[in-house]
C-alpha cells in the first residue's frame, strides 16, 4: 500500500475538521481533496512538512465540488496538476459563477471570503470528468471512481485497493466520536445515499479515509451506524415538519438533538466544535427539509 499523508487544513482554527490526502506514487503525489482556498497556505505547509512540494502533485482527485473539498482546485489546475471530477461537477469547476452564487445564498455573501476564499475558473484543458467505475492509473497506483450520490448528486468515492476515500458519502467522524451524515442543501437524496452505502459495502474496504476526518476502519459497522444515523436525522426533521415547526425552531431543536447525541457518546465540547465546523447542524436541517419537500 502506498504512503498516505492526512493533511489537517485546520479549517476555522479547528483541528481535525477538514483533511486533504496526499498519496505517494512512483510519479510523485496524487492529492485527494484540496480543501477551500482559504486554507490553501495550510495545505502547502502541511505538504512541505512531509517533504512534498506543490510541483510533486501531478493529480488532484475531487470527491465532489463543495467548497470545503474543492475550493482550491483552480490553484492546482493553474500549477500543472490534472484535476478529475464527476461529470455533473465539471461545468461548475470550469465556470464557478453559479456554484459561488448558490453557496453565497446558503452561507451569506459576507461570509464567503473568510470561509472559503476565492474560487476561480479552471481551464477545460486541465480538468476531466470520470464515469462510474472508471479506472485511472498514475505512477503505478490504479484508482477506481465510484459514483456515489446521496450527500451530493455529483459525488465520487475514490478507491485505491483496500482503501476508499469516501468524501462525505461515508459520513463525518471526528477523533473517535460517532459517524454522522452531513446533509446540506441543495441535493441531499436519502434514497440514493442508501444505495451508495450499499456500493461502499460491496467494496470490502479495510480503511475509509473521511475528509471529515481521517482514516477509520472500513466495513459494515461504520456503514450501519451511518445508515441508522441518517434515518434518525430524517425522521427528526420529518416529525418537526409534521408538527408545523418553523425552520428556525427546527434548527435550534436539531442542533440540541444532534449535539446531545454526540455528548451522550462521550464527545467533548472541543470536538463538538470540530463537528460543527465540518458539518453545521443548520445545514442538515435545510438539506433534509429540501429533500422532504421534493418527495
> In the complex, what is the shortest distance from the CB of residue 182 to Zn ion, in angstroms, rounded to a whole number?
6
When the beta carbons of 24 and 154 are compared against Zn ion, the nearer one is 154
Q: Are 40 and 74 in contact (CB under 8 A)?
A: no
Mention every residue, 6+ apart, whose C-beta is less than 8 A from residue 285.
237, 247, 250, 251, 254
Smallest distance from Zn ion to CB 39, Å: 15
Interface contacts to Zn ion, rule CB under 5 A: 66, 168
Q: Minimum CB separation from Zn ion for residue 276, in Å?
A: 15
**Smallest separation (angstroms) from Zn ion to the CB of 240:** 23
Of 66 and 154, nearer to Zn ion (C-beta) is 66
- Least separation in angstroms between residue 212's CB and Zn ion is 9
- What backbone torsions phi and psi does residue 23 show, to the nearest 5 degrees? -115, 120
Residue number with CB closer to Zn ion (141 or 279): 279
From edge to edge, which strands make up the β-sheet containing 163-167?
A: 135-138, 141-147, 156-160, 163-167, 207-210, 214-217
The answer to whether 133 and 145 have CB atoms below 8 angstroms apart is yes
Quote the CA–CA distance of 8 and 25 in Å, as a whole number: 21
Q: Please identify, using beta-carbon distances, which residue of 141 and 284 lies nearer to Zn ion.
A: 284
Whose CB is nearest to Zn ion?
A: 66
Q: Which is nearer to Zn ion, 66 or 222 (CB)?
A: 66
Amino acid at each position: 500500500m502506498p504512503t498516505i499523508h492526512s493533511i489537517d487544513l485546520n479549517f476555522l482554527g479547528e483541528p481535525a475538521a477538514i483533511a486533504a490526502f496526499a498519496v505517494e506514487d512512483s510519479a510523485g503525489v496524487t492529492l485527494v481533496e484540496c480543501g477551500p482556498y482559504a486554507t490553501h497556505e495550510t495545505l502547502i505547509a502541511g505538504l512541505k512538512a512531509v517533504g512534498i512540494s506543490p510541483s510533486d502533485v501531478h493529480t488532484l482527485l475531487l470527491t465532489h465540488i463543495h467548497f470545503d473539498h474543492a475550493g482550491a482546485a483552480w490553484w492546482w489546475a493553474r500549477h500543472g496538476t490534472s484535476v478529475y471530477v464527476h461529470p455533473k461537477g465539471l461545468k461548475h469547476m470550469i465556470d464557478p459563477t453559479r456554484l459561488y452564487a448558490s453557496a453565497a445564498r446558503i452561507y451569506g455573501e459576507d461570509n464567503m471570503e473568510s470561509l472559503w476564499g476565492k474560487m476561480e475558473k479552471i481551464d477545460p484543458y486541465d480538468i476531466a470528468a470520470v464515469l462510474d467505475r472508471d479506472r485511472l492509473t498514475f505512477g503505478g497506483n490504479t484508482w477506481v471512481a465510484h459514483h456515489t450520490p446521496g450527500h451530493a448528486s455529483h459525488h465520487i468515492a475514490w478507491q485505491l485497493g483496500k482503501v476508499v476515500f469516501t468524501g462525505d458519502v461515508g459520513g463525518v467522524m471526528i477523533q473517535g466520536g460517532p459517524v454522522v451524515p452531513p446533509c446540506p442543501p441543495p441535493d441531499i437524496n436519502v434514497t440514493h445515499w442508501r444505495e451508495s452505502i450499499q456500493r461502499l459495502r460491496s467494496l470490502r474496504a479495510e480503511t475509509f479515509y473521511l475528509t471529515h476526518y481521517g482514516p477509520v476502519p472500513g466495513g459494515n459497522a461504520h456503514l450501519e451506524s451511518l445508515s441508522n444515523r441518517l434515518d434518525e436525522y430524517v425522521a427528526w426533521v420529518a416529525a418537526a415538519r409534521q408538527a408545523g415547526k418553523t425552520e428556525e425552531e427546527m434548527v435550534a431543536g436539531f442542533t440540541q438533538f444532534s449535539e446531545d447525541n454526540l455528548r451522550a457518546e462521550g464527545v467533548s465540547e472541543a470536538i463538538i466544535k470540530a463537528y460543527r465546523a465540518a458539518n453545521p447542524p443548520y445545514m442538515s436541517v435545510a438539506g433534509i427539509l429540501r429533500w422532504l419537500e421534493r418527495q
